Amino acid sequence: MTLAILVAPRFDDASSYSYDWSREIKKVLEDKGFQVIDIGGRPLSRAEVEKALTENPNALFIFYNHGNEDCLWASQTEKAVDEDNVKLLASRECFTMACLSAKQLGVEAYKVGCLAYWGYTEVFAFTTEDADVFKEFANCGLKFKLEGKTWEEALQQAKNLAKELCQKLIEAGKYFSSILLQQDADALRCYTPNNPPTETKCIFRKIALKIFGPKLGWRISRSQALGWLFFLVGYGVTLHAVADELYWKGGYAEIFKPQGEWVGLALVMLGFILLVSDVVKWLRK
Amino acid sequence: MKELDIIIKALKLEAQQKPNERIYVGFKSYTYAEFAEMLNNHKKLAKVEKEFVENFLKTSLKLFKENKAYREKILTLAGEK
C-alpha cells in the first residue's frame, strides 16, 4: 500500500481552516488506496514530523499550515521543516499548502533531490466569504495528480481552475476574493526535475541560471563558483604577466617561442580540466 | 480618477456591504474594511504587509486592464460608469 504523511497542525484561526481543508485531502488519499499517516489537529513538534519522515522514506509528504520563505511551521514557535532538515524531503514528492515556502525552502528541497515540491512563493491569502472556493483551489493540485496527471500537468490545470474560479467570483461581485485567488494562483509553483525553479535574488545564481540553464545552474555551489572564478581570473592574470615579461625580453618572437612557462601553464590547465571533469559530469547528471 | 483609485473606491464599497467577512493573510487576519484602509496607506505598513498589499494592488490593476467583466463591474460599483 502506498504511504502518505499528512501533516496539518492546528493552533490558530487560519490553521483551523487549513486543517479542515486537509480532511478532504485525507479522504481523497484513502479513497485512492493510500495508507495515510495523519499528524495534526494540534500544535506539533519538529521531532514528531522528523520521526514520521525518517521512518517513511519516499512516502508522499503533504503539509497544511503556515509557512515562511525558509520553513514550514509545526506550531507557533517550532519549525517542522527548514533548511537544516530539508534533506528529509529528498527522494519524495511534497505537496504543501503554506505561505511562501516555495521561495526558498522549495528551492532547497529541489536542490537536495526532492522529486516534486508544490508550494507558493508568496503569502497564501483567503477570505472567509469564499473559503470553499479557496479550499477547492488549494486541494485541486493533489487531486489532479492522484487522477494520473504529471505534476507539470497538475500545475497547469490548477492555474486554469483558478482562472475559472476567479471569473466566477468576479461575476458574483466578489472582488476581494477574486483578486486574492488570482494572487494565490500567480504564486503557485511546482518544482520538479522537468520544471526546475528559475527565480532567485542572488545575482551570481541568476548569471549561472542564464549561462548554464536551471538544471545545471542550481547545482553549482557558491564555493564551486568562487573556485572556478578565482582559478580562471588567476590563470588569465598569470598568462598576461608571463606574456608581458617575454615581450619586454624579445618582442613577439620571444612570446611565440616554445618556453618553459607555456609548458607549465598548459599542464596547469590540463590538470585543472582533468580535476573538474568529474564534477562537470556530476553536474550534468 | 486614476484606475487604482477607482478600484480602491469599489473595494471600500464592497467592504461596507460585508462588515463580517475577513481576509486571512498568513498569521494575520483583517476585516474587509481594515484591509481596504490598508490599500490607501500601504506605504506606512511593515515590510511584509507592504509587499502583500502592493502585490494585491498590482494584481487588481492587472485584472482591471485585462479582464473586461472585472473592469465593467468595478466601474459600475464605483459609480464611474
Does the distance separating the beta carbons of A182 and B63 come in below 8 Å?
yes
What pLDDT score does A212 carry?
81
Q: What is the dihedral of CA B63, B66, B72, B73, to 10 degrees?
A: -20
Provide ipTM, 2 decimals.
0.94
Instruction: Judge whether A190 and A172 are in contact, CB under 8 Å.
Output: no
How many cross-chain Cβ pairs, A to B, lie less than 8 Å apart? 80
User: Which pLDDT tens digits describe chain B residue by residue (81 residues)?
Assistant: 688 899 999 999 999 999 999 999 999 999 999 999 998 887 788 888 899 999 999 999 999 999 999 999 999 998 887
pLDDT of the residue at A207: 86
Cβ contact (<8 Å) for A127 and B11?
A: no
- Ranges A239-243, A271-275, B10-14: which has the least confidence: A271-275
For position A239, what pLDDT does the model report? 94
User: Which residues make beta-bridge pairs with A127?
Assistant: B23
Q: Where are the domains of chain B?
A: 3-25+33-78
A124 touches chain B (CB under 8 A): yes
Clarify whether residues A45 and A114 are in a common domain.
Answer: yes
Q: What is the pTM of this model?
A: 0.85
Same domain, A185 and A229: no
Please report whether residue A205 resides in a domain.
no
The reply to whether A194 and A224 lie within a common domain is: no
> In chain A, positions 199-258, which contact chain B (CB-CB < 8 Å)?
none
Query: Are residues A65 and A26 part of one domain?
Result: yes
Q: Is residue A128 part of a domain?
A: yes
Of A14, A170, A173, nearest to B67 by CB-CB distance is A170
- What's the CATH code of the domain at A16? 3.40.50.1460
One domain for residues A23 and A155: yes
Same domain, A247 and A151: no
Pair A114, A184 in one domain: yes
Strand (E) or helix (H) holding A61: strand A60-64
- Write the residue in A12, A178, A186 that is nearest to B27 by C-beta: A12
Quote the number of domains for chain A. Answer: 2
* Domain membership of residue A266 as a residue range: 217-284
Note whether B21 contacts A12, CB cutoff 8 Å.
Answer: no
CB A143 within 8 A of CB A28: yes
Q: Indicate whether A154 and A241 sit together in one domain.
A: no
Q: Is A157 a domain residue?
A: yes
For residue A7, report the phi and psi dihedrals to the nearest 5 degrees: -110, 115
Cα–Cα distance measured from residue A149 to residue A129, given in angstroms and rounded to the nearest whole number? 31
State how far residue B60 is from chain A, nearest Cα, in angstroms. Answer: 6
**Interatomic CA distance for residues A157 and A139, integer angstroms:** 12
Domain-embedded: residue A49? yes
